[in-house]
Amino acid sequence: MKILFVTLLISNISFANTKSNWVPEYQQKNKIKENSIKVLKASPNKVVTSDEKKTYMPTNALDAMYLKASTSKEFLKSLKEKTLAEKQNAVPILTKVMKSSNYPDENRWIATYMLGRIMGKKAAPYIAKFSQHPNWMLRLASLKVLLHLDQKQYKGIYANLLEDKSLIVRHQALQNIKEFNLSELAPYVWKMLYNKENYLGTVGNQKRSNIIKDAIKVIGDLGFEKAKKPMLEMISRKKYKDIFSELDYSLSKITSKNSPSGDQAIKKHFWNRYKVSQL
């Protein structure tokens, strides 16, 4: 079961959040205030879910398949093929699977994907509601399908899920923002550097997780000019050596300047000279 689930996540099927005022000590002087950006809010409608377990009898053969736990790649392939064969007739089953915990999580993931596959962009408003679902896998599936359907307009959802309690959901929200090049959400990405959930270890001995490195690179991809000054300070200090290459990448994107080839000392000297030139 675990192997199938990992395979499912890696293939993308072909297609803990706590708000806190905590700021890493080394970031306090360089903090950039979040812009007052107007973004589309996440759907105000609660996800209609019947996640309580109860005795359930399938209504047809496809429904019965979704009730079965996945046992092999062949089963998943067959499930998708039979769903596609039903076309629009499969939609009521798919929405029911998504809403009910009577079905295995892997199959609820498949149902979300297949709903987007069959209905296309028409399914986006319904799928977007699952970005607020209590099950992290459905929040993740919602983000992935919205990305596949090229749904750039759900900026509020992507911004909110950068602070999701699940690391993998936060990472996918970051990926959506990067792929859609949503530069107006750059302040929300920068804010990830102050979220204690993105650090490992105990208080006083915090270490940056990989999502911090990815966030720094996305800040550069989005061309967030306001991050230039604090990043120039950071790249010159030894305590940031673990994210030196990401800072170098991001500064190159923001400034349109490429540091010379060589070790960190050579690149650090380049950025120090650039910083002085900006005074």
Name the residue type at position 215.
Answer: A
pTM of the shown model: 0.83
Place of tokens 């039903």: 86
- Counts for the chain of helices (H) and strands (E), in that order: 14, 2
* Position 2 pLDDT exceeds 70: no
Contacting residues for 50 by C-beta, under 8 A, at least 6 apart: 99, 100, 101
* Position 55 pLDDT exceeds 70: no
Q: What is the mean pLDDT of residues 234-254?
A: 96
What is the number of other CB atoms lying within 10 angstroms of the CB of residue 49? Answer: 17
pLDDT 10s digits, 26-38: 355 455 655 545 5
CA distance linking residue 197 with residue 209, whole number of Å: 9
* Position 157 pLDDT exceeds 60: yes
* Position 6 pLDDT exceeds 80: no
pLDDT 10s digits, 206-229: 789 999 999 999 999 999 999 999
